[in-house]
Amino acid sequence: MDVLMITGSYPPAVCGVGDYTMNVLSSKVASDWRLYHRTDWRFSKLLTIIHEINTFNAERIFIQYPTQGYGWSIVPHLLCVYYSLIRKVNCTLVLHEYSQLSVKARIAVKLMLLTATNIIVTNEFERTEVARVSKSVSRRSKVVKIVSNIPVSKNILKTNLRKYDLAYFGHIRPKKGIEDYLDVAAKIRFMHPNCSLLLIGQIPPGFEDYSQKIIEQCLYLKIETKQNLNAEVVADLLAQVKVTYLPFPDGISERRGTALAALANGSIVLTTTGPHTTSELRDAVCIVSSDNVMREIEQLLVSSEQRHTGLQCKGKAYLNELTPATWDSIACDYLK
């Protein structure tokens, strides 16, 4: 079967969905799938894009949405309508985000939801949200959970041997909780001057000025920074971090690949809760609020190796039991 994957972002461009797409296509199951990626998604290019996609003669199409590369383009939505309703191709929308989209964006995405042959979402909360659109959408939607885009390091260290006491990991852009991490890091630096602090991040296009300000703050606070590294290097760094603090504004959820990456590499995840936090995920991490985060960090940094090992085991159990085992299993679920 000829399978085509459509995406607006793909490595080396900085985009979590682009990285995810690459990992799916790198699996054995998807070894003969083909990729359609372009950077120009202007409406004036619609006919050109359709012509280019038609040359693949694909029997099945997967559209990854949203991605950084699409920008505000309506072209992906129109492709979903065209191939599902007019060309009668099996066209699956892989929707990575819906509940957090703006009202305007959700209205536009409904065009895809109502026409796509099938819909893949990343967790049950998202499926509940898209199911509100119509009964038909509910019938055509399925959950395929994510795994982290970051692999597991080959050098997982015991907590007491790890170089970094506290780290943040993720895209360096607003509304990711970075400011909260820096506030806590400043207090840690004042109270515990010898703590080793780290910020690992990717800088998405358009956020260079914001990232520069963050990096300057890190320099002032003596926080080591690592930017735009490949996945293997990031894994090795996470394997050297005792505690990863991820204060998500909307709380941790199953679609937070950064948290999954930290857990997979044996780092204890300190994070916030929200409406999409499952009970199983809550048990796998340390939930904190702004009132007790400092106390929890200080306790974790002086806790016994036995407590650290217990927390690490909870994280590993969650990953083993409640996330896909491999990218091959994700690709298989796509075909199902």
Work out the end-to-end distance of the chain between its first and last CA atoms, rounded to an integer number of angstroms: 13
The full DSSP string for 183-241 is: HHHHHHHHH-TT--EEEEEE--TT-HHHHHHHHHHHHHHT-EEEES--HHHHHHHHTTE
- pLDDT score, position 148: 92
**At residue 29, does pLDDT exceed 90?**
yes
Q: What's the confidence (pLDDT) of residue 303?
A: 86
Residues 61-72, mean pLDDT to the nearest whole number: 95
pTM score: 0.92
Helix, strand, coil proportions of the chain in percent (round to 5)?
A: 45, 15, 35
Residue 233, pLDDT above cutoff 90: yes
248: confidence class by pLDDT, cuts 50, 70, 90: very high
For residues 206 and 136, give the distance between their C-alpha atoms in angstroms, rounded to a whole number. 38
- Tell me what pLDDT residue 332 has: 97
Number of helices and strands in the chain (H, E): 14, 12
**Is-same-fold flag (3-144; 159-322)?**
yes
DSSP letter string, 136-171: HHHHHEEE-----SS---S-PPPGGG-SEEEEEEEE
Which residue is associated with the tokens 């506030």? 183
pLDDT of residue 252: 96
Average pLDDT, the chain: 95
pLDDT value for 178: 97
pLDDT of residue 91: 97
- Is the pLDDT score of 1 beyond 80? no
State mean pLDDT over 71-77: 96
Mean pLDDT of 285-307: 91
- Domain spans in the chain, listed from the N-terminal domain onward: 3-144, 159-322
Closest CA to 64 of 140, 9, 127: 9
Q: How far is CA 100 from the centre of its chain?
A: 13
Residue with tokens 């995840």: 269
Q: How many residues does the chain have?
A: 336
Residue 117 pLDDT: 97
Q: How far apart are CA 159 and CA 188, in angstroms?
A: 19
Report percent pLDDT > 70 for the chain: 100
pLDDT above 90: residue 150 = yes
Residue spans of alpha helices (H) in 30-100: 46-54, 75-81
> What topology is assigned to 159-322 in CATH?
Rossmann fold (3.40.50)
Q: Which of 334, 316, 335 is nearest to 148 (CA)?
A: 316
Please determine, for residue 235, whether its predicted confidence score (pLDDT) is greater than 90: yes
Q: What is the DSSP letter of 39?
A: S
Statement: residue 57 has pLDDT above 80: yes
Nearest to 121 by CA among 171, 129, 35, 69: 129
Can you say whether residue 118 is alpha, beta or left, with left for phi > 0 and alpha for psi between -120 and 50 degrees? Answer: beta
Helix (H, G, I), strand (E, B) or coil at 103: helix
Band of pLDDT at residue 302, cut at 50, 70 and 90? confident
Angle between helices 16-25 and 327-335 (to 10 degrees): 80
> Is 3.30.70.3270 the CATH number for 3-144?
no
What pLDDT was estimated at residue 186? 96
